[in-house]
Amino acid sequence: MRTLILGGGPAGAAAAITLARAGAAPILVERAAQPVEKVCGEFLGADAASLLAGLGLDLPGLGAVPIRRAWFGAGRHRGDFALPFPAWSLPRMTLDAALLRRAAAEGAELRCGAAAVAAEPAREGWRLRLADGAVLEGGRLVLATGKHEMRGLARAAPPGALGLKLALEGVELGDAIALLAFRGGYAGLQPRAGGGANLCLALAPGTPGLAQAARDPAALLAMVRQGSALAATLLRHARPGWVRPLAVGGVPYGFIHGAAGPAGLFRVGDQAAVVPSLCGDGIAMALASGQRAGMAIAQGGTEAAHHAAWARAVRPGMRLAGVADGLMARAPSALVLAVAGLPGLAGWAARQTRMGLA
């Protein structure tokens, strides 16, 4: 039977392309009729670029913006280092659309604009019930719903953070990204293709000013500006590009799915592991986990073996990412001083947290 894929982001599309190339002709179901903005920093490191090239995508041809440097700011302190690998910034809408086009060209069946209301085991595999009354059946189900849970198939993860994203105008970063500490967390600032920047944050419940920042761009900008001299400089002319930030709740940063789970259910992307946001490897991990799931299914592998292998591959990098995330949240000045004094160490950590090709 054909494989069902629920979710048309990078993880789902990578699985669809891989299965289609193996002659399996999967069915991909995506609730959005066309790609939309996501709460995602849109950073693509060397591992993501390599995976995308293997899937048939050309980043410069899609208009991706090169990134070569990273800035860290906390209070009056600032650290800078050159990235030890080529990196890019590309809007998720552009990336998702290109991946879905490739999946269709390879032979996957796409059902975009179709919302799944139930996913349940069936006699010979899995069954998807769609909002329009249609029912799809397949031998395997690839769960690629990203940060959003499917009813009855939620991750066994603790309560998570609130993720926010705001497009900004009037911000010039050149070929750099910035990590900016402030009271309650840190923010990532990245060039946006076409001009301006994306501001992304992950805030713990109970963060002072969280409710207002989640709905008021001015409050969000004020929160970040007050955290460092670097943020005040970079955001001095910033103007919100949206009426309010995009938000997604309950993001379990640091989560890794274990091998247990229903037979025939393959979790990929953020359903399999959620890297702390400062590392910027989420898209690469989504692509790699989707590709691995597609290969496992094509070769007759089990979901337990797939999940266990993925957990082993990413666990070392996730541990290091968790340490860096904790330092940025609890001792940001110490981390920034370490970056300023030991840029080689920062470059090493950046390489070790590229988990897409682990």
Task: Tell me the C-alpha distance between 176 and 172, whole Å.
Answer: 9
Q: Rounded to a whole number, what is the largest CA-CA distance in the chain?
A: 62
Q: Is position 355 within any domain?
A: no
Distance CA 344, CA 347 (A): 5
Mean pLDDT of 353-357: 92
pLDDT of res. 339: 92
Question: Coil, helix or strand for 88?
Answer: strand
The rounded mean pLDDT for the chain is: 94
The tokens of 246 are what?
């995009």
Give the span between the Cα atoms of 267 and 251, in whole angstroms: 16
Question: Which residue intervals of 164-281 are DSSP H helices?
Answer: 210-215, 217-225, 229-234
Please report whether residue 206 resides in a domain.
no
Residue 153 maps to which CATH number? 3.50.50.60
Residue 193 vs residue 67, higher pLDDT: 67
243-294 confidence digits (pLDDT tens): 999 999 889 999 999 877 899 999 999 999 999 988 999 999 999 999 999 9
178, part of any domain:
no
Q: Over 90: is that where the pLDDT of 45 sits?
A: yes
Would 194 be classed as within a structural domain? no
Q: What is the mean pLDDT of residues 298-319?
A: 96
* Domain enclosing residue 274, as ranges: 3-65+89-157+253-326
pTM for the model stands at 0.96
Using alpha carbons only, what angle is made at residue 295 by residues 125 and 139, rounded to the nearest 5 degrees?
10
For residue 100, the model assigns a pLDDT of: 98
**CA 126 – CA 275 distance, rounded (Å):** 28
| pLDDT higher than threshold 90 for residue 78 | yes
pLDDT beyond 80 at 3: yes
**What is the model's pLDDT at position 157?**
87
Residue 163 resides in a domain: no
Residue 35 lies in a domain: yes
Q: Is residue 112 part of a domain?
A: yes
Q: How many independent structural domains does the chain possess?
A: 1
Each residue's pLDDT tens digit, 87-146: 999 999 999 999 999 999 999 999 999 999 999 999 889 999 999 999 999 999 999 999
Query: Is 55 part of a structural domain of the chain?
Result: yes
Q: Give burial (CB, 10 Å; 0-12/13-18/19+) of 115.
A: exposed
pLDDT value at 77 more than 90: yes
Q: What is the pLDDT of residue 81?
A: 94
In percent, the amount of the chain with pLDDT more than 90 equals 86
Q: What is the mean pLDDT of residues 192-213?
A: 90
